[in-house]
A and B are shown apart, each in its own frame.
Chain A
Amino acid sequence: MAVSAGADAASAVSYEPVIGLEIHVQLATRTKMFCGCEMSFGDPPNTHTCPVCLALPGALPVVNELAVHLALMIGLALGCELAPRSIFHRKHYFYPDLPKGYQISQYDEPLCRGGSLGGVRLHRVHMEEDAAKLIHMGASGRIHGSEISVVDFNRGGSPLVEIVTEPDVHSAEQAGEWLRLLRVTLRQLGVSDVNMDEGSLRCDANVSLRPAGTTALGVKTELKNLNSFRFIEAGIRAEIARQEGVLDAGATVSQETLHFDPSSGQITSLRSKEEAHDYRYFPEPDLPPVAITEQMIARARAAMGELPLDREQRLQQAFGLTAERARALAFRRELGDYFEQAVAAGGDHGATPTELLQTLANLIAVELPPRIGSDTDPFDCSVTPAAMLALARMLATKQINMGGARTVIERLAEHGGEVEAIVAQEDLGALGDGDELATVVAAALAAHPDAAERLRTGNQKAIGPIVGFVMRETKGRADGSEVTRLVHQQLGL
């Protein structure tokens, strides 16, 4: 996507943003990457430390087997090439969150290379340990101007996977959308909590601009620690605007690490970006290469289950759902499971008309969640999949309209029960093509002669008050399309 550079578009160049993403994923293990300290979030600081993660002399790291297994699942899910021998390196830099003076990471032999997800190619996926948590104390309490910092090593040494994309992303919105896809994929795999608030999913974005239509890459900046989807999109948008300003002024963008402050929208320089060789990578002498066996790969593959994108495709193909509905169901595993169970309640779905399946998908993906609490697992509520199928059937055969269906879902969510019984009890059945509805329509036309006249002369909007009258009179039980048909019929249109 090309963006126009500023208001003076006539003379200004239009730029294409080129964005690559680096995502850190904390793996769902019980213990840290290289020691047996328990993983924790929210425990008192420095209660999960040991000689290894505090870097005491003589302590030796040992690789967590489950972390490798989970990293392999990620590699397989993203279609990466898996290295048969994967090597850990020391990445050196001095910072108080890194007691060893280096981070154990991977360099030229990462666990996974290549692959793609949702049209974005991946560069690599590697394993590493997390740094400790630094709390900067100071007058403002913010990172700038702090005088002392306090280190909490509970997080130090947590198992991370870093996923690096190719620069295939071209807008802030695309970045947000792709990260949502990645998150739902990782959640489905069960490899991580992918909780951005708690830092188990963190994203950095490399942003550069180039004149639209050219292929050479511009100088990139790195936006650090964008810790919510909203901030990711806002941060990238702000950085694109900043770089446009720099380029339009005839200056050059300098390569640096930036911090986006979501409350002010300001971007500030964090520290000058060190060149890769400044990290002085060398093979970690304390860790021999990790050999990835066929057995390990087979185990990882067996643990994977169906991925959201695959399920989205299957739901479209097998049930004839629209892409939007299929995605809504596939991206929330429990909604997808609930839908498929509802379909199964009707027996062989091959015999179920596509229209009914679409209605059912619509009820489950759109109407159900807000009525049971949008984050509630539908299996934990009193609305059963079979009841939703029964309701979809009544909708498809026009025995009830959508307003009535919504009321039924509310009643089911309150106390469960049988759909037909609720419809009968609350008198929610749709007024169909019987005389009763025709009589009400006639009364509506008589009550709104002006609207009837305007409708007769071709003003379609004039039907509003007439339908409104019918809905009031029938307590919302009338079928909208049937009312429209009767109105047109009675006006001789």
Chain B
Amino acid sequence: MIDRNQVLHVARLARLILDEQEIVAMQRDLGSVLDHIETIGELALDDVVPTAHVIELTAALRADEPVDSLSRQATFAGAPAVSDDGFIVPSPQA
């Protein structure tokens, strides 16, 4: 079970506002997810080398050659608000 403050902390990172009921529900749900993850600890993994990826591959590299970018029209097509200069967003400092 994770505590209330941990729930609020994770909610803040996700920019979510939770009401009292949701906090209790999240505490329960996140707790059960964590309990499930804990079961991995029961596996015998001493001989398994830690890995960052499932498939043993190395990255293909790309030559430093420019390709066409999108038009400004296409770039802005799905944006809710634009100005001449770019995408308008609520100020993170406001």
Using a CB–CB cutoff of 8 Å, the interface residues on chain A facing chain B are 29-31, 35-38, 44-51, 54, 62-68, 85, 87, 92-96, 109, 134-138, 143-153, 274, 278, 280, 283, 285, 287-291
Contacts and interface: CB of A to CB of B under 8 A. Distances in A.
Contacts of A109: 52
Contacts of A137: 91
B87 to A, nearest CB: 4
When A and B form their complex, which 9 residue pairs have the shortest distance between CB atoms, in order from nearest? A36-B67, A66-B64, A283-B52, A65-B61, A291-B58, A288-B57, A146-B91, A38-B66, A96-B89
Nearest to B62: A62
Contact of B61 (A94, A96, A138, A290): A290
A63 B89 contact: no
19 contacts: A30-B65, A35-B67, A45-B85, A49-B75, A51-B70, A54-B75, A62-B61, A64-B64, A67-B64, A94-B13, A94-B15, A146-B93, A146-B94, A147-B90, A149-B90, A150-B89, A152-B85, A288-B53, A288-B59
B91 A138 contact: yes
Interface of B is mostly: loop
A237 B7 CA distance: 39
Interface in B23-81: 52-53, 55, 57-67, 69-70, 72, 75-76
Nearest to A159: B64
A45 B76 CA distance: 11
Q: Tell me the interface secondary structure of chain A in the complex.
A: loop
Chain B interface bracket (under 10, 10 to 19, 20 to 34, 35 or more): 20 to 34
Given A143-B93, A150-B85, A31 B64 contact: yes
A65 B89 contact: no
A31 B68 CA distance: 11
A63 B90 contact: no
B52 A87 contact: yes
B73 to A, nearest CB: 10
Given A31-B65, A36-B65, A150-B85, 17 more contacts: A30-B65, A50-B67, A62-B61, A63-B61, A68-B61, A94-B13, A109-B52, A135-B86, A136-B91, A136-B93, A150-B83, A151-B86, A152-B85, A280-B13, A283-B52, A288-B59, A290-B59
A64 B61 CA distance: 6
Given A147-B91, A151-B89, A152-B85, A63 B62 contact: yes
Contact of B66 (A30, A62, A290): A30
A384 to B, nearest CB: 37
Contact of B64 (A29, A50, A151): A29
B91 A65 contact: no
Nearest to B58: A291
Given A144-B93, A152-B86, A65 B75 contact: no
Nearest to A89: B52
Contact of B72 (A47, A65, A66, A136): A47
B70 A50 contact: yes
Contact of B69 (A50, A151, A152, A274): A50
Contact of A48 (B55, B69, B86): B69
A150 B88 contact: yes
B72 A46 contact: yes
Given A36-B66, A36-B67, A54-B75, A149 B61 contact: no
B93 A145 contact: yes
Given A38-B69, A54-B75, A289-B58, A149 B52 contact: no
B8 to A, nearest CB: 13
Nearest to B61: A65
B13 to A, nearest CB: 6
